[in-house]
Amino acid sequence: MATTQRTFGIVKPDATAAGNAGKILARIEESGLKIIAMKLMHLSETQAKGFYAVHKARPFFGELVTFMTEGPIVAVVMEGDNAIQRWRDLMGPTNSDEAPAGTIRGDFGSGIERNASHGSDAPETAALEIAYFFNATEIQAPTEAL
């Protein structure tokens, strides 16, 4: 049974710098996911550290924060049946070197960090990540009960 969900995604700085944000957003829409909120923003160090706080003890944390603050991102809220898994399938594996052609990371990424996109991995994560970037007045009302 299909479940209408919301999920969160980021078009990362590498993809925006390469001029691929529009192509990635088009793929979202072509996949049947509905974009219900979107904003172009340049993360501050504080914002990036807060968003990726779950990784703060990991050795790559500093590099991740530096990367995510080097240029603008596009933060996106999507809605659709099984949106979380559909977005993750559209992105492909985290490591772009292992992502097949036709996926966002396979076509627009260049490694494990510079992988063009981020996506929530569960309903709880999606709710937290959406709330981190958007307030209720910035998100389109649900098309049906969630």
Catalytic residues: 118
Is residue 104 within 8 A of residue 24, CB to CB? The reply is: yes
Q: Are 3 and 145 in contact (CB under 8 A)?
A: no
The full length of the chain comes to 146
**Count of CA atoms in the C-beta half-sphere (13 A) of 136:** 0
Distance CA 61, CA 52 (A): 8
Q: How far apart are alpha carbons 73 and 88 in whole angstroms?
A: 18
- At residue 113, the 3 state secondary structure works out as coil
57-61: Cβ within 8 A, 24+ apart: 60/113
